[in-house]
Amino acid sequence: MITTLLFDLDGTLIDTNPLILKSFEHTLGYYYPDRTFSHEELLPFIGPTLEKSFSEMDAELWREMVAFYRSYNIAMHDELVLEYPGVLDGLRDLKERGYKLAIVTSKSGRVARKGLELFGLTPLFDAVIAADDVTMEKPATEPFEKAMALLGATPEETIMVGDNDTDIHGGKNAGLKTVAVGWAIKGRAYLEALEPDLIIDSMKDLGDWLEQQNGTAH
Residue 41 has pLDDT above 60, yes or no: yes
The two beta strands, 82-83 and 4-7, are unpaired
pLDDT value, residue 113: 95
pLDDT value, residue 218: 56
Could you give the domains of the chain? 4-15+82-214 (3.40.50.1000), 17-80 (1.10.150)
pLDDT value, residue 17: 93
Q: Which residues of 69-82 are buried (b: 16+ CB within 10 A; e: fewer)?
A: bbebbeeebeebbe
pLDDT value, residue 47: 83
Enumerate the active-site residues. Answer: 8
Question: Is the separation of the CB atoms in 184 and 191 below 8 Å?
Answer: yes
From residue 175, alpha-carbon distances to 38, 88, 204, 215 in Å are: 36, 27, 24, 21
Residue 101 has pLDDT above 80, yes or no: yes
Q: Tell me, what amino acid is at 119?
A: F
- pTM here is 0.92
pLDDT value, residue 193: 98
Q: Which residues pair with 53 in a beta bridge?
A: none
Distance CA 101, CA 184 (A): 20
Q: What share of the chain is helix, strand, coil (3-state, %, to 5)?
A: 55, 15, 35
Q: pLDDT tens digits, residue range 14-39?
A: 999 999 999 999 999 999 999 999 99
Q: pLDDT tens digits, residue range 46-66?
A: 888 899 999 999 999 999 999
Share of the chain above pLDDT 90, in %: 95
143 or 45: whose pLDDT is higher?
143
pLDDT confidence bin for 128, thresholds 50/70/90: very high
